[in-house]
A and B are shown apart, each in its own frame.
Chain A
Amino acid sequence: MHNVATLRGIILSKNHIYMHPTDQDIIVLEKKAEEIRETIIEMLVAAGSGHTAGSLDMADIFTALYFHILKHDPNNPEWEERDRLILSNGHIVPVRYATMAHAGYFPVKECLTLRKFGSRLQGHPERLRLPGLENTSGPLGEGLSQAAGIAYANIMDGKKNRIFVCMGDGEQDEGNVWEAVMFAGKYALSSITAIIDRNNIQIDGMTEDIMPLESLRAKYEAFNWHVIEVNGHDIAEFIMATEEARAIYEKPVLILAHTIAGKGIPEIEFDYHWHGKPPTKDEARHFLKELRSANGRVPNEYA
């Protein structure tokens, strides 16, 4: 038995037999996502800079990935049989660091070194500095290409590992993304499950004002992808979508995750000004109170 990630009620074995999450599992995962949001706020305040909105809105998905979906081992990050999680929009790495810490890759208190001199937690992720990071990113548009390279090489070697890749929606402006979408479509790289954080904001404003993206579904489908749309804050729905993706073997799959930028803190939700700035200490005190007063459950009015 190779325990890869443990949470009450969920033990992923080496064989990774899928277990449909029970209601109790979901409650536990939601609680975990809340803790991760708190860590994100704390680390951004300590850093004094960083990207708040995307980090918060992907907390539910990262929790689902690390605590239920991914085959991985925090004690053996190089495990040959692990699933790969490529983070393409590297600026939301606080959510990855926080989730990895809670999953046991490193002590949660190390999160407070984010962006500090000498830290393994660089402002944008560097694979070589922290075990468990699969790629170095920050400049946008390159993650799907790397996922596609791994997927293609795995086909050559007869390996079955799944490859997840997280992208931003603003990132879809990048030409490199569409080169990779075309490539993965041509070679039907079905081991890829791409996730777009559809939070509708980017630095300068709303995505549809800056450079309209819609219809993302039609665009990906036209490139020979299978597209699933989910509420990105509904952990059960997201887990089901990844299960559907597993069953699609003739195409790569895109999960278009509709999220609320800054999710969990009403004052900053939907506000693009929070793309790239951290809360002040006073704001953070207030935000943490809001997160904690949710009685063990992240507000879920979006559902």
Chain B
Amino acid sequence: MLNKNAHLVENLFDSNITKKPTRDGFGSGVVEAGRANSNVVVLCADLSESTRAQWFEKEFPERFVEVGIAEQNMAALAAGFFAAGKVPFIASYAAFNPGRNYEQIRTTIALNESNVKVCGMHAGVSVGPDGATHQMLEDLGLMRMLPHMTVINPADAIEAHKAVIAAAAMTGPVYLRFARSASPVFTTDETPFEIGKALTLWESEKPQVAILATGPMSYRAVTAASALESEGIGSIVLNIHTIKPLDNKAVIEAARRTGNVITVEEHQAAGGFGSAIAELLVREYPVPMRIMGIQDVFGQSGEPDELLEYYGLGAPHIKDVARAFLEKH
């Protein structure tokens, strides 16, 4: 059953549900953050249109800094802006930010506890035709391993908007992940959002499996839950936008109530969101688990949905994995 307190859209499962890329939520969110705090600055590495940093540039041209195609410089520059009292957001594709500039982020932002917000765009295979070089699948792992770093992967454009504002309001380094392709906007302005707090999307009366999802995969997870329900399988679905710090209580509770956990992410299955959940549960409440993600391969060119289908990340896949998983136990 849908969690009413999540205040999701009315037409949740309609094919005409509005779709937008989560990067739009970055664009609108950072403008609002800029209005709230005149110290917010945005640095961009020659990708202002596609990252939506341009939306900020239009409103606050004097607080937008073009750094050219130089992501390493961008990260270390941001540490300097922080040292002078600014709240810098640095935007580029996740393959380069944090892919290219990992060490600058590690030393000058994470170790240095700089109040810098690292924004990785075009993450995951859903980048589509650009192919494997641009389909970042290791960013969540890289960023969640860093002490001091908060890691957020918003589920849709509205949640992305809220996440950016919340990241600007908190002190400390944050990594935010965004996607290029449009995905269903299934949360609303009323949907609760708090960094570090999981959002229950679905909760059956007798849940047998917990599906924990992050990013736009959360919509696919709730779609799978609805299909499972009609086949007589109850579930709990959590949208876990904050991978670090994890909502330990919500995750352990879901594992305790179901005894079976599936995680879903558009990221390498190794080292990312599923690993974070496994690390928690193996310590606190070990249960059988399946980690759905990219299985140790690079992506390739194709259309976003075609690729997600190919790599086994469609809603029907989640349903099938859940069924097969439960049959085994």
CB of A146 within 8 A of CB of B70, answer no
CB of B72 within 8 A of CB of A146, answer no
Interface residues of A in 146-177 (CB under 8 A from B): 146-154, 156-157, 159, 175-176
Interface residues of A in 88-132 (CB under 8 A from B): 126-128
CB of A180 within 8 A of CB of B84, answer no
Which residues of the other chain, A, contact B111 by a CB distance below 8 angstroms? 126, 136
What is the bound-complex CA distance between A136 and B147, given in angstroms? 15
Interface residues of B in 33-68 (CB under 8 A from A): 41, 62-63, 65, 67-68
CB distance from B61 to the nearest CB of A (A): 12
Contact of B79 (CB < 8 Å), options: A128, A139, A146, A182: A146
Segment touching A, from B17-25, B100-108, B123-131, B297-305: B100-108
What is the bound-complex CA distance between A138 and B106, given in angstroms? 12
Which residues of the other chain, A, contact B83 by a CB distance below 8 angstroms? 84, 134-135, 146, 149-150
Using C-beta atoms within 8 Å of the partner chain, give the interface range for chain B.
Answer: 20 to 34
Check B80 for interface membership: any CB of A closer than 8 A. yes
CB distance from B102 to the nearest CB of A (A): 11
Which residues of the other chain, B, contact A220 by a CB distance below 8 angstroms? none
Contact of B76 (CB < 8 Å), options: A84, A153, A159, A176: A176
By CB atoms of chain A within 10 A, which of B78, B83, B85 has the most? B83
Check B112 for interface membership: any CB of A closer than 8 A. yes
Instruction: How many A-B residue pairs have C-beta atoms within 8 angstroms? Tell me.
Output: 101
Which residues of the other chain, A, contact B104 by a CB distance below 8 angstroms? 139, 142, 145, 176
CB of B84 within 8 A of CB of A157, answer yes
Check A179 for interface membership: any CB of B closer than 8 A. yes
Which residues of the other chain, A, contact B84 by a CB distance below 8 angstroms? 149-150, 153-154, 157, 159
CB of B76 within 8 A of CB of A142, answer yes
Q: Is the interface of A mostly helix, strand, loop or mixed?
A: helix
CB of A128 within 8 A of CB of B113, answer yes
Check A183 for interface membership: any CB of B closer than 8 A. yes
What is the bound-complex CA distance between A86 and B78, given in angstroms? 14
What is the bound-complex CA distance between A149 and B75, given in angstroms? 10
Check B86 for interface membership: any CB of A closer than 8 A. yes
CB of A145 within 8 A of CB of B107, answer no
CB distance from B110 to the nearest CB of A (A): 10
CB distance from B195 to the nearest CB of A (A): 22
Which residues of the other chain, B, contact A190 by a CB distance below 8 angstroms? none
Write the chain A residue with the least CB distance to B113: A128
Interface size in chain A (residues, C-beta < 8 A): 33
What is the bound-complex CA distance between A134 and B73, given in angstroms? 18
Residues on B lying within 8 angstroms of A by beta carbon are 41, 62-63, 65, 67-68, 70, 72-73, 75-86, 88, 103-104, 107-108, 111-113
Beyond A145-B104, A146-B76, 17 additional contacts (C-beta under 8 Å) are: A135-B79, A135-B112, A136-B112, A139-B107, A142-B72, A142-B107, A142-B108, A145-B73, A145-B77, A145-B79, A148-B80, A149-B83, A152-B65, A159-B84, A175-B72, A176-B72, A180-B73
Residues on A lying within 8 angstroms of B by beta carbon are 84, 126-128, 134-139, 141-143, 145-154, 156-157, 159, 175-176, 179-180, 182-183, 186
Query: Could you show 21 A-B contacts with beta carbons less than 8 Å apart?
Result: A126-B111, A126-B112, A135-B83, A136-B108, A136-B111, A136-B112, A138-B107, A139-B104, A139-B107, A142-B79, A145-B75, A145-B77, A146-B80, A146-B108, A149-B84, A151-B80, A152-B77, A157-B84, A176-B73, A183-B67, A186-B68
